[in-house]
Structure 1
Amino acid sequence: MSSTSSDAPEELRPPITETTFVATASGEDDPPAPIKGVRRLLGWIIPANFAIFVIWGAVPGILLPHQIELLYPDPKQKVATFAIIATVGALCALVAQPIAGQISDRTRSKYGRRAPWILVGAIAGGLALTGLAFANSFVGILIAWCLVQVGYNIAQGPLSAVLPDRVPVSRRGTFAALSGIGLMAGALGGQVVGSLLFNSMVAGYIFFAVFALIVLALFVVFNPDHPSTNFAREPFRFSDFISTFWVNPIRHPDFFWAFTGRLLLYTGYFGVTGYQLYILSDYLGVKEPNTVIPLLGIIGLVGTIVATIISGPLSDKVGRRKPFVFGSSVVMGVALALPWLWPNFTSWLIMTAIIGFGFGMFQAVDTALMSQVLPSAKNFAKDLGVVNIAATLPQTFAPGIAGAIVLAFGYAALFPIGIVLSILGAICVWFIKATK
């Protein structure tokens, strides 16, 4: 281990404990031995991620645009309104996750640093989702959606920190692959379930709220966190709070390149897929888009699962991450070219399968890569919150930017921009030195 070892012979070094690991380790280091419960975590991370991301797939992708469409039937007005609500809501997520991560890193309790906040986030998000179900005005929807974003990001940040906290480096590709299966199965499965509940929004919102709470509570019960009462208490400084949103790119260049690569690729992806409902109806001429979304979700899910199962364990076996990330971005760029050059529903079907494979490959390996460029175990959840800004920031600005592009140039302009961003994201990964 790089940060916790010294020049002394190994037999003379003091044992690495959970306390010294948190005080001195970085993302390149294994958790201290004995590492227990990893196999159980490998199983539970799938439903835990699924429970959160099924909401991100169903609500902003299906139910929320439909809810807005019912209030504003005019095509231009619905696009503009959705862009505003999605942008403001995701901005709340951008702020919430690293702050929640910093609070989690500093939590000292017999239940550990992560478990209490996973439960708090699940409860808060569920209450907000229930409120969204009954919102019937622009202001009501905006406030409720912002609270949903804050609540579930409070849970998501500490949940993502389980990887560097408790999983050895040699198994992170496998863990990230399973995490990616849960993530993408949730995101794509959410589209399927959301479309089935297209005309029953209240029931849909309440169902997702209850489902997430039950699954995340079970995750906490069956994967108890390490007590953190013996960890050194970090004094609160306002400068530390401000630095929540910042990791020095000069001191930590690998972190910067990994962050930037994810930011660009996610922006290209969500800039197009975030408007799927409207693209299907207004660009490809599908009369009832909600009826075909279950098929699209299943097709994308198959591609994602196949890519994830192959990519994560294979990256562990060959000891390389970057080639998989680069390959995924090329695959996604090719997929986005299809509906741009061939604008019909058939091309969208083919694109869905290919981009699902590419994004699954990316998600499986990029999570492991990210965990290895984290600067310090003291701040795993905070730094992962900053990392996840690279995922939430595109959801913050992509709807607004994409909406402006659509209003100015039409839906076709989204695709070449997505292709360029995907390729640029891959180029950034090659500058990372900490991993191959």
Structure 2
Amino acid sequence: MTTTSPSDEIARPKLRGANLRLLIGMFPANVGMYLLWGAIPGILLPLQIEEIDPANKAGNLAVVATIGAFAAMLAQPLAGTISDRTRTRFGRRAPWIVGGALTGGLALVGLASANTLVQIAIAWTITQIAYNFAQGPLGAIMPDRVPAALRGTFAAVSGLGLMLGAMGGQIAATGFAENISAGYLTFAGITLIALTLFVLFCPDRDNRGEERRPFSLAALLHSFWFNPRRHPDLGWAFLGRLLLYLGYFLVSGYQLYILQEHIGLGDDAVAFVPVLGVAALVTTLIATVVGGPLSDRFGRRRIFVFAASVICAVALVIPWVLPTKTGMLLYAVISGFGFGLFQAVDTALITEVLPAQEDFAKDIGVVNIAATLPQVVAPGAAGAIVVALGGYSPLFPVGIALMLLGGLAVVPIKSVR
């Protein structure tokens, strides 16, 4: 595990040369990856499902999203275990990053032609598996190749790419509301190009000479587990991310339907999504650019993560008590700042509590279950709440409680300030 000390500050590496090239390269790679995650589950997939059965759209979206997210939850740790053991002239991550993007693009071709709920569920599940085989190894680049003292800055740039991609994807996807298939193909192409260019311009070293680690059934099963008693700091970091993401996806996963029914926009909801996206993007940029470098400068991560959780919780209060376009706009601005701050710092915090260098991708994959598991649980839970209580309003107080608990979970971490 890595801790910050005065000697670390004195020996702080410079952001130049290979470090600077990698920093620049990671930005478009993350934008390309998350454009897809913002566009498809947030806009294109709900619209496609709504076209098939408008009366049951909430329940159908919950089923499809839950199946796909469960597949993603299993795929990313497995991808990490496999890539940790990969030996090629291009390093251990590149083949999976490019291969996952290519396979995912082909799956989106299938999704574009799907016209039944079963076909959509199958195509979306394959899409999730493929792109998580790319995303898992991409996430391991930071602990692989970035000095610990620069990880706050790198996490800020990665978080900036994430949020810019996710929000930009939502905004851009609204332009394909009348041609969903074209949207799927467009985002598949962008992601493939972005990840391929990253691998070409930020190449890893040839690792064929490294010792080949055995791949066994035990290693496969270990892909989905770490011992929180042996590594309590990683356990607390996992719990914090899990709770905060759960609170976030409980509401954001149903944003389009919330706008349609809770806010009362009906068919005008799609046109309002870009407005929210732009508003959130501005504050996200500010929080991300400022938060990561500040956490590097002060050598502190936990206080920033806790502050982010409080800000996100406050944001959820507004549309709960003010179900109007103004309330949603304020929510977008404040939650954009809070979630941007969280993404900028939490990623750096995670890399500093990873137990073993030889298992970086596997452990990141396990920790990322904390981001994908909420996508498994949230749609079903949110759908049950909406159906049982007859509206979207109860989603907000539940999300608030989860956000605050997520911030409190990082307080017991000892190895990172």
Q: What's the TM-score, normalizing by structure 1? A: 0.91
Please name the residue that 1:257 is paired with. Answer: 236
Work out the CA distance in 1 between the residues paired with 2:37 and 2:43.
10
Moved over 6 A (4+): none
Work out the CA distance in 2 between the residues paired with 1:230 and 1:314.
39
SS of corresponding position for 1:412: coil
Letter of the structure 2 residue corresponding to residue 43 of structure 1: I
SS of corresponding position for 1:113: coil
Work out the CA distance in 2 between the residues paired with 1:68 and 1:282.
17
Please name the residue that 1:15 is paired with. Answer: none
> Does 2:221 match 1:234?
no
Please name the residue that 1:112 is paired with. Answer: 91
Q: Deviations over 1:185-206 (max 9, x none)?
A: 0110011001111111111100
Please name the residue that 2:60 is paired with. Answer: 81
Which residue of 428, 432, 436 maps to 2:409? 428
Q: Deviations over 1:285-333 (max 9, x none)?
A: 0131111111111111111110001100000000000010000000001
Please name the residue that 1:419 is paired with. Answer: 400
How far has the Cα of 1:36 moved from its partner? Answer: 5.8
Work out the CA distance in 1 between the residues paired with 2:64 and 2:171.
22
Work out the CA distance in 2 between the residues paired with 1:164 and 1:61.
30
Letter of the structure 1 residue corresponding to residue 177 of structure 2: F
Please name the residue that 2:338 is paired with. Answer: 358
Please name the residue that 1:13 is paired with. Answer: none
Please name the residue that 1:301 is paired with. Answer: 281
Number of residue-to-residue matches in the alignment = 408
How far has the Cα of 1:237 moved from its partner? Answer: 2.3
SS of corresponding position for 1:411: coil
How far has the Cα of 1:434 moved from its partner? Answer: 1.0
Letter of the structure 1 residue corresponding to residue 159 of structure 2: G
Q: Deviations over 1:41-89 (max 9, x none)?
A: 1111111011111111110000000000000011xx1111000000000
Pairing 1:395-410 to 2, within 5 Å after superposition:
395-409=375-389, 410=391
Pairing 1:97-108 to 2, within 5 Å after superposition:
97-108=76-87
Q: Deviations over 1:229-267 (max 9, x none)?
A: 122111122122111110000100000000000000000
Letter of the structure 1 residue corresponding to residue 73 of structure 2: L
> Does 2:45 match 1:64?
yes
> Does 2:237 match 1:270?
no
Please name the residue that 2:8 is paired with. Answer: none
Work out the CA distance in 1 between the residues paired with 2:87 and 2:110.
32
Please name the residue that 1:283 is paired with. Answer: 262
Work out the CA distance in 2 between the residues paired with 1:136 and 1:236.
40
How far has the Cα of 1:400 moved from its partner? Answer: 0.8
How far has the Cα of 1:344 moved from its partner? Answer: 1.3
Work out the CA distance in 2 between the residues paired with 1:238 and 1:360.
38
Letter of the structure 2 residue corresponding to residue 135 of structure 1: A
User: Which residues of structure 2 form unaligned runs of 5+?
Assistant: 4-10
Q: What's the TM-score, normalizing by structure 2? A: 0.95
Q: Deviations over 1:214-240 (max 9, x none)?
A: 111000000001211122111122122
Q: Deviations over 1:115-166 (max 9, x none)?
A: 1100100101100011101100011100000011011100000000000000
How far has the Cα of 1:2 moved from its partner? Answer: 7.0
CA contact (8 A) 2:90 2:205 kept: yes
Please name the residue that 1:173 is paired with. Answer: 152
CA contact (8 A) 2:2 2:416 kept: no
Please name the residue that 1:92 is paired with. Answer: 71
How far has the Cα of 1:388 moved from its partner? Answer: 0.8
Letter of the structure 2 residue corresponding to residue 317 of structure 1: R
> Does 2:313 match 1:344?
no
Please name the residue that 2:6 is paired with. Answer: none
Please name the residue that 1:46 is paired with. Answer: 27
Percent identical pairs in the alignment equals 55
Which residue of 102, 126, 141 maps to 1:147? 126
Please name the residue that 1:23 is paired with. Answer: none
Letter of the structure 1 residue corresponding to residue 37 of structure 2: W
Work out the CA distance in 1 between the residues paired with 2:377 and 2:312.
20
Please name the residue that 2:353 is paired with. Answer: 373
User: Structure 1 residues 207 and 2, CA, compared in 2 at 3 Å: closer, same or farther?
Assistant: closer
Q: CA RMSD in A?
A: 1.8
Which residue of 18, 42, 46 maps to 1:37? 18
Letter of the structure 1 residue corresponding to residue 51 of structure 2: L
Letter of the structure 2 residue corresponding to residue 207 of structure 1: T
CA contact (8 A) 2:81 2:361 kept: yes
Letter of the structure 2 residue corresponding to residue 398 of structure 1: A
Work out the CA distance in 2 between the residues paired with 1:234 and 1:157.
19
SS of corresponding position for 1:315: helix
Letter of the structure 2 residue corresponding to residue 307 of structure 1: A
Work out the CA distance in 2 between the residues paired with 1:336 and 1:171.
32
Please name the residue that 1:208 is paired with. Answer: 187
Please name the residue that 1:311 is paired with. Answer: 291
CA contact (8 A) 2:2 2:352 kept: no
CA contact (8 A) 2:81 2:219 kept: no
Please name the residue that 2:163 is paired with. Answer: 184
Work out the CA distance in 1 between the residues paired with 2:22 and 2:111.
32
SS of corresponding position for 2:223: helix
CA contact (8 A) 2:80 2:137 kept: yes
Work out the CA distance in 2 between the residues paired with 1:100 and 1:382.
7
Please name the residue that 2:364 is paired with. Answer: 384
